[in-house]
Structure 1
Amino acid sequence: MNLDTLLAKRIRSLRKNRGYALETLAELSGVSRSMISLIERAETSATATVLGKLADALGVSLASLFSEDTAASPPSPLATAEQQPLWQDPASGYLRRQLSPAGYGSPLELAEVTFPPGQTVTFDNAMRTIVSHQQIWMLAGEMDISIDGQAWHLQPGDCLAMTLGQQIIFHNPTASSARYLIALTATPSSTGRQ
């Protein structure tokens, strides 16, 4: 199964499990009904920004959108390299590899990102339904990361711990690709939607 098909099934399943009509998810996420419909039919590749909005409206972490529904079979504690989903953002070209085993139930999720030179991705959330704690460990290259207006410049070996805010901007200011590891945990917000 390709990743667009996996994302389509996962988003549709989460939406239906919450009892949301397409219009409801559109209203909660700020993503148009027609775009959600195209994504759920795997007729378009959603950008990282759109996936972030949908994840927030569905009350899940962005990383969980890349996990298969494992209700049919027990989850394995091992995710071999060939089992790890690799997704490319169609807008910026950044590559995200979901490292953690799908559905295993660990409170910690790991992902590896390769971020192209000169690219920027902005995640805006009007209302976070989950509290996401992340740490980013730079493996290669450099990144500028800004959260709610506070900015940091990361170089190889640097590690930035953060609680995601209303806006986060990832920018590679160099002429070379950057590579980093993301470790994250997510818990429901006490002020988020039910």
Structure 2
Amino acid sequence: MIDPVSLGRRLHALRTGRGLALSALAREAGVSVSMLSAIERGEKTPTVVVLSRIADGLGWSSSRLLADLETDRVIVRRAAEQDHVAEPGGWHRTVLTPVVPGVNFEWIRTTLPAGCDAGEFPAYAPGSHEFVAVESGTLWLGVDSAEHVLAAGDSVYFPADVTHSYANRGDEPCEYHVAALVMRPRTGRVQ
């Protein structure tokens, strides 16, 4: 398990050691200043994707950033520790998985209220994958130029290196799970 306070101290030391203001690293990493600040204070544990963005912003790999911070091979993320995100438009997502060094995998539970469009998501790097399973309601999933209508109990896989979208055009809420392996291209920085 990774201690969020130790991770926060390491991030703070790396950022200040490079002479970067909080806002500069946040901009470089593509995360909010408030999120980065909470992570540095040890109040939030970043998702795999957010951690990868921060590592990229510092010019490091995620595994190098997390080296020596892992204290246990079994990582338990209690319900109270899960990230709950209320998105604009009324939809809600919960990141269920813990952060694991070197693993770009996330399992997310999302609830879309009736008539909600979560919008379009950009293509991830080649080698990225998404699995979606609908728990309740109906989900309209756009993958590239095709649309797939999924009912409760349906599941789908798609390579996530294309634009994709999620919407609920029905009259009842839709709850679904996304299991994503997201590859992120590395920039030319020293790893």
For Structure 1 versus Structure 2, the TM-score category normalised by the shorter chain is: 0.5 to 0.7
Distance in 1 between residues matched to 2:26 and 2:79, nearest whole Å: 33
How far does residue 88 in structure 1 lie from its aligned partner after superposition? 2.4
Amino acid of the structure 2 residue aligned with 1:119:
C
Residues 16 and 144 of structure 1: is their aligned pair in 2 closer, same or farther, counting only changes over 3 Å? farther
Distance in 2 between residues matched to 1:181 and 1:81, nearest whole Å: 18
For residue 172 of structure 2, the aligned residue among 176, 183, 186 is 176
Q: Does 1:119 align with 2:116?
A: yes
The answer (yes or no) to whether the contact 1:25–1:57 under 8 Å persists in 2 is: no
Where structure 1 has 5 or more consecutive residues not aligned to the other structure, the ranges are: 1-5, 43-50, 61-68
How far does residue 75 in structure 1 lie from its aligned partner after superposition? 4.4
Question: Residue in 1 aligned with 2:187?
Answer: 193
1:126-165 map, 5 Å? 128-129=124-125, 131-165=127-161
TM-score by length of structure 1 reads 0.59
Residues 179 and 70 of structure 1: is their aligned pair in 2 closer, same or farther, counting only changes over 3 Å? farther
TM-score by length of structure 2 reads 0.60
1:106-142: CA deviation from partner (whole Å, max 9, x where unpaired): 56432222222211122443x7456420100111111
Amino acid of the structure 2 residue aligned with 1:82:
A
Distance in 2 between residues matched to 1:56 and 1:87, nearest whole Å: 19
Q: Aligned pairs, how many? A: 160
SS of 1:154's equivalent in the other structure is strand
SS of 1:187's equivalent in the other structure is coil
Question: Residue in 2 aligned with 1:82?
Answer: 79
Amino acid of the structure 2 residue aligned with 1:85:
Q
Distance in 2 between residues matched to 1:93 and 1:117, nearest whole Å: 10
1:5-154 map, 5 Å? 16=15, 22=23, 26=27, 36-37=32-33, 39-41=35-37, 72-75=69-72, 77-103=74-100, 106=103, 108-125=105-122, 128-129=124-125, 131-154=127-150
1:130-188: CA deviation from partner (whole Å, max 9, x where unpaired): 64201001111111011222211111111111122453221011121111121121234
Percent of pairs with identical residues: 15
Distance in 1 between residues matched to 2:84 and 2:78, nearest whole Å: 14
Question: Residue in 2 aligned with 1:167?
Answer: 163
